[in-house]
Amino acid sequence: MKILTTKLEGLFIIEPRVFRDARGYFYETWNKERYIEAGISCDFVQDNESKSSYGVVRGLHYQQRPYSQAKLVRVVLGEVLDVVVDIRKGSPTFGQYESVRLSDQNKRQLFIPRGFAHGFSVLSSDVVFSYKCDHYYRPDFERGISFSDPEIGIDWGIPADQMILSEKDKRHPVLAEAEIL
């Protein structure tokens, strides 16, 4: 497994070792011991999976303290542009984002530590997206940031007229007005 650093401290791209042959492929999607050796030590308590179609934009989501979540995300089928925004007050990269293509072909994973807002756009006809969380989902602590915040300036890789968003995601405030503890 190869760990790639990003401009956002603590955010890692993980390239697992994939074994391929005529039958298909095999790889470990999680091995606590190996991830700890790589500097990623989380006690994951919940796994989630979503299915979406082309043009869907989910996010930008986060949970407030004390239920902030670290996540390990990956794509089972299809391709997304995964987007992470640093919302750690006092961080030198506060308000900056990183985007990474994750797909069933590249098998990349993204480790997102606590203190980041997360979202993705679906670039393929369909996608199955899977992720681990180190805190349980708490609806009362869920918050979001506008996917179209001009100060952040995210290019989601999809024409605006083809984006599909939930009503909730359309109403999130910009980062400057977001509730961040």
Query: Could you list the active site residues?
Result: 61, 131
> Can you tell me the distance from the alpha carbon of 79 to that of 64, in angstroms, rounded to the nearest whole number?
28
* Residue indicated by tokens 């401009």: 7
- 3-class SS string, 49-94: EEEEECCEEEEEEEECCCCCCCEEEEEEECEEEEEEEECCCCCCCC
Pick the closest to residue 95 from 5, 8, 6, 4 (CA basis).
8
> Can you tell me the distance from the alpha carbon of 86 to that of 110, in angstroms, rounded to the nearest whole number?
14
> Can you tell me the distance from the alpha carbon of 133 to that of 154, in angstroms, rounded to the nearest whole number?
24
